[in-house]
Each structure stands twice: as C-alpha cells, then as structure tokens.
Amino acid sequence: MELDKFIANFAEQLDDTDPAEIKADTIFRQLDEWSSLSVMCTIAMVDAEYGVALKGDDINKAQTVEDLFNVVKSKKA
Amino acid sequence: MVAILSDCRHSYNLDFMVPYNPFSLEGKTILVVGASSGIGQSTAIECSKLGAHLVIVGRNIERLNAALSQMEGDGHSAIPCDITNDEQLTSLVETLSKLDGIVLSAGQSMTLPTMFSTRKKFDGVFDVNFFAPVELMRLLCKSKKLQSPSSAVFVTSIAGTHLWRPGHAVYGSSKAALDAMIHYFAIELGHKQIRVNAVCPGMVETPLIYSNGVITKEQMEADRKNYPLERYGQPTDIAHAIIYLLSDASSWVTGHSLVVDGGITAK
C-alpha cells in the first residue's frame, strides 16, 4: 500500500480542490469543500480500493491525509 | 351492580366482558418477517400482547427464540428462513397455514454516495428490501395463504418517499420501489379484501441505523435534534402503527403509506 497512490485516490474524491494541493500533511478538515459527503466518499473509496471498512469516527480522529493512510494500512494488515 | 355495569356500557361489551378494543388482534394469525430484531421484533411482541398468534421469521433461530421468549400468549412459532433464498422462501410458504396478516420488516441499510452506488450494490440491497418481500407477498397470494379478508403491511422509509439526504440513494430507492408496489398490490387485491399498506418510518433506534458506522454518534445526536419531537422513534412507535393497519380498525384503508416520523417530513 503506497502513500502516494492513497493521496491521489483521496484527492480524486474532491471536486473543487486542485489535486496538487493535497499532500501527506494536508489537514483535510480545513479544506473549503470538506463536508459530510466528503466523509462518505472517502469511506466508500477506501472500501472500493482497499477493501477496508472505515467508520465515521476513524475519519474524525485523523488530522492529516497520512493519518488516514495509516489507519487504513493498520486495518488492512 | 346493574347500575355500575350500565355506566360502563359505553366502553365494555357486557355479553362477554371483553374490553372494547377495535385495535385487537385476538384470534388473528400474523406472520412477521424480520422478527429477530428492531421493528419486526417489537411488532411481533406487541401483536402477541393484543391476542395474535404469531409466526415469526428471520435468518437466525437463536435470535428468533429470544424474540419468542418475550412474547405473551400461546401458539406462536418461529421459522428460520433467508427470504432472499428462493428454495427457502418456497419451503416457508408451503409450511405456513392460513394467515390473517403479514408484516414485511426485513431490511438492509446502506450508506453510500451515488458515485459509488454500483449495480452490484443496488442488487444486494434490492434483493433484501424489495425483491424478497415482493416475491413472498406474491407467493402467499397465489397459494391463497393470505385469507379474505387479511392485511399486509410493508415497512418502507421516508428515505424513499419524502426525505433525500446524501448517502441514502441505494437504500432509499429500494424503499421507493417497495412503496410503489404496495399501491399496485392494493388495487389488484382489493376485490379479495386483502388490504396492502405501508408504514413509512423516519429514523428509529434499531441496530440497523448503527450497522455501518459511517454516520457518527455526534452526527446522529445533531440529527435527533432536527426532529420536531426531538428524538428518533422507538421500535414500538412503528409497531403500534403497524398494529393499526393489521387490525379491523383500518378495515377501509388500503394502498396507504402511513408516515410515522416524529414530524421530520412536516418541516
């Protein structure tokens, strides 16, 4: 599981944010377009791409995209 | 004594000393599908308190037995069956005797944005929420197990008929399809005195709403406050509406979707 690929998958769920702006240390909650629908899309993306069932709370606890990557990685292990 | 009894005449049938209750299910045999938890289980228990004989169906016999143990009266039975399995469904219908009512409450939830709502996701949810209850209803009518008169009650959802929130497309669509079907069943079965209605709940405190964890407890708490009655429903709130539609109190009601939602769709 690669971080770069995860960041690209994460960025793909956003509509108004330039994918180049999304980095490992991006605090995703501070993105202008972040919403409850973004949470659902992220959960659905992680399920489809990694076969991991994230919960809303997993996303609440994470700050950065890399935090989220680590959660998914640990659940996949 | 005579004077006292005559004072009570407005509310008691003195011939049998049975309390007047148009919502009674005394002597009726009622099938409840999805009775191992949530709304189905509560409905089965409440129906038993009103005198019905219940046949309860669900996938897990242990959970069905747990429901049986909470029911009042005698003559109830539990049949384990996965109604999405054609063979099990056919076998269930063969096993059943004549019915005065059925409640179709088996359901599966899914929270998924439309962009991820693939055909496969729709198929899984529609199998449980739409095709299985519709096929069971069809088989019960064809085999004449549903008597004339009788009442069928489907559990739908405001997510399919009134309230469009992100993430509920697959689940809501399956309930919308079910809502359409109750009207078609109602108009085609009316001449047999088989009434077909739906109870259409808002959010109800059942295992189903917590099943996937996509919506956090904090989000649910905020959503609860959105309801004019400031709470989600309890399973008994829905069970009592179902009982109205099963009972003779609703003898002239068919093809109706009864919204029970704490007022959220009135906003």
SS3 B53: strand
The answer to whether residue B9 scores a pLDDT higher than 60 is no
Per-residue confidence band for B214, with pLDDT thresholds at 50, 70 and 90: confident
pLDDT surpassing 50 at residue B3:
no
Least confident of A27-36, B126-135, B216-225, B235-244: B216-225
Enter the ipTM: 0.87
Per-chain mean pLDDT for chain B: 93
Q: Tell me which chain A residues have a C-beta less than 8 angstroms from the C-beta of B171.
A: none
The domain B22-266 is placed in CATH, from the list 3.40.50.720, 3.90.850.10, 1.10.287.110, 1.10.260.40, at 3.40.50.720
Count of CB pairs separated by less than 8 Å, A with B? 39
Cβ contact (<8 Å) for A60 and B216?
A: yes
Residue extents of the structural domains in chain B: 22-266
Catalytic status, residue B20:
no
Distance of residue A19 Cα from the nearest chain B Cα, in angstroms:
18
Report how far residue A29's alpha carbon sits from residue B214's, in angstroms, rounded to the nearest whole number. 16
Instruction: Provide the pLDDT confidence category of residue B14 given band limits of 50, 70 and 90.
Output: low
Residues 6+ apart with CB under 8 A from A37: B113, B166, B167
Identify the residue whose tokens are 């996937």: B212
Report the gap between the CA of A40 and the closest CA in chain B (Å): 6
What are the pLDDT digits (tens) for A27-76? 999 999 999 899 999 999 999 999 999 999 999 999 999 999 999 999 98
Backbone angle region of B198, left / alpha / beta, with phi > 0 → left and psi within -120 to 50 → alpha: beta
Tell me the per-residue pLDDT of B17-51, one tens digit each, with 9 for 90 and over.
678 999 999 999 999 999 999 999 999 999 999 99
